[in-house]
Structure 1
Amino acid sequence: MIVSHSDIKVVIGAGEFMNNPGWIHTQESELDLLNSNTWNDRFQPNSITAILAEHVWEHLSFEEGIAAAKLCYDYLKPSGYIRCAVPDGYFRNDEYQRIVQIGGPGPKDHPAASHMIVYNYQTLSNLFETTGFEVRLLEYCDEEGRFHHTDWNEQDGVIFRSKKIDPRNQEELAFPSLIVDAIKKEY
């Protein structure tokens, strides 16, 4: 069944998180970032207002990430966006980096076991810019490990693992995400 609402907002890989009421929450088996057929079955090209992907892109290789971004681009409306959060490769904390490393820290059932890349703001921005998006950095660490943030609206997509929302990050930054909005250019 193809969804045809005027304001379609989709969460990719929602897991158990249902932080975004009114959004369509999907799992990989329903909407696969690398399988256009799963998108064709549900949406029309240029029909989606927003896509939220919290800790999804790191499970794709860089090349798969580009392919996924291109697929999303095709289904987003002009000025639509992807709000993407991934582990931050520039966050200076050895335990954090051990947890988010490629292949994860331990057993194959650990959530990070399928990590294929650890992004920093430059590599993630490059991935989306390569596919035609404009990138707005929301939360990230720079090369020196300094944390930067721009105020962002939760109504545009809640990222739980953020400085703004995650209780672990309220007193001291403990488990940040690199968060960007990748915005489809209007032509």
Structure 2
Amino acid sequence: MPSALRKWAYAHSGPLLKPASLFAWFFYSRFSDKIRLIIGSGDTLYKGWFPTDIKTLDLTNKKDFRRYFKKRKIDLVLIEHVLEHLEIADIEMMAQNIKEFANPNINIRVAVPDGFHADQAYIDHVRPGGTGPAADEHKHLFNYRSLSEIFVKFGYGFNLIEYWDEDRNFHSTYKNDDEKGHIKRCFLNHRKNKDGKPNYTSLIIDFYLTQP
């Protein structure tokens, strides 16, 4: 389906999406060993993962979380290039809602554009109002410190997976064989890094619960 037609179909299918998602959830939750959740999935589909977006799961709405996760708690969450589009208050509500419906050993893998990236062209591409696709919808340009602070105050710890530090040094331990979630826009996978240089990377952090 052409991209424009796919976007039109999605925009006009709102009333049907949530019932269809809940129907799919009925079977997924009964036959999956773990609950693996993609937030803001768009057209991203990974085997064993349950896709959601704003029309099927409102991150700020506890009632929505209760519909899905009353009986099965969340084990793994994947959020790639979504949080930069949200208000801080909405991210905070999401963190609290996930925590309430999470298994104790949950892992939340978050990827966003990296505000400490050393290349100014990259920064201009991804900053709010920047030159990149959908950058005009970006509300934040996080670095590892500003993003982790949001989750820490709600009882999360974190592991840095891919990031630039304050001295513009690049670090990455991301591997595609990691069951915690596949990231397309990272050093290992993005097409702009074929020369072996970190031209296009993401800030990737794994969050876990340190407090019940």
| Partner of residue 124, structure 1 | 147
| Partner of residue 55, structure 1 | 81
| Partner of residue 142, structure 1 | 165
Superposed CA deviations along residues 68-96 of structure 1, whole A, max 9, x for unmatched, are 11111112110101100000000021221
| Partner of residue 7, structure 1 | 34
Q: In structure 2, the residue corresponding to 1:96 is in which secondary structure?
A: helix
| Partner of residue 155, structure 1 | 179
Structure 2 segments unaligned to the other structure (5+ residues): 1-21
How do 1:80-95 and structure 2 match up within 5 A? 80-95=106-121
Q: In structure 1, the residue corresponding to 2:68 is in which secondary structure?
A: coil
Query: Quick one: higher RCO (CA 8 Å, sep 6+), 1 or 2?
Result: 1
| Partner of residue 90, structure 2 | 64
Please say if 1:182 is aligned against 2:207: yes
In the aligned structure 2, how far is the partner of 1:22 from the partner of 1:166?
A: 23
Q: CA deviation at 1:148?
A: 0.7
**Residues 163 and 170 in structure 1, CA contact (< 8 A), matched pair in contact too:** no
Q: CA deviation at 1:186?
A: 6.1
Question: Whose radius of gyration is greater, 1 or 2?
Answer: 2
Q: 1:30 aligns with which of 56, 67, 84?
A: 56
Coordinate RMSD, CA, aligned: 2.0
Q: Identity over aligned residues, as a percent?
A: 32
In the aligned structure 1, how far is the partner of 2:72 from the partner of 2:210?
A: 12
Q: Which structure has the highest helix share of the two?
A: 2
Q: CA deviation at 1:46?
A: 7.1
In the aligned structure 2, how far is the partner of 1:60 from the partner of 1:119?
A: 12
In the aligned structure 2, how far is the partner of 1:186 from the partner of 1:36?
A: 20
AA aligned to 2:36 is: K
**Residues 156 and 211 in structure 2, CA contact (< 8 A), matched pair in contact too:** no
Q: In structure 1, the residue corresponding to 2:201 is in which secondary structure?
A: coil
The answer to which of 84-93 and 151-160 deviates more is 151-160
Structure 1 segments unaligned to the other structure (5+ residues): none
| Partner of residue 133, structure 1 | 156
Q: CA deviation at 1:184?
A: 1.6
User: TM-score by structure 1 length?
Assistant: 0.88
AA aligned to 2:151 is: F
Superposed CA deviations along residues 85-135 of structure 1, whole A, max 9, x for unmatched, are 0000000212211121123437xxx42222111110111111111111110
In the aligned structure 2, how far is the partner of 1:170 from the partner of 1:75?
A: 40
Superposed CA deviations along residues 2-27 of structure 1, whole A, max 9, x for unmatched, are 64554100000112222x21100112
In the aligned structure 1, how far is the partner of 2:33 from the partner of 2:70?
A: 11
AA aligned to 1:7 is: K
Q: 2:101 aligns with which of 75, 79, 85?
A: 75
Q: In structure 2, the residue corresponding to 1:164 is in which secondary structure?
A: coil
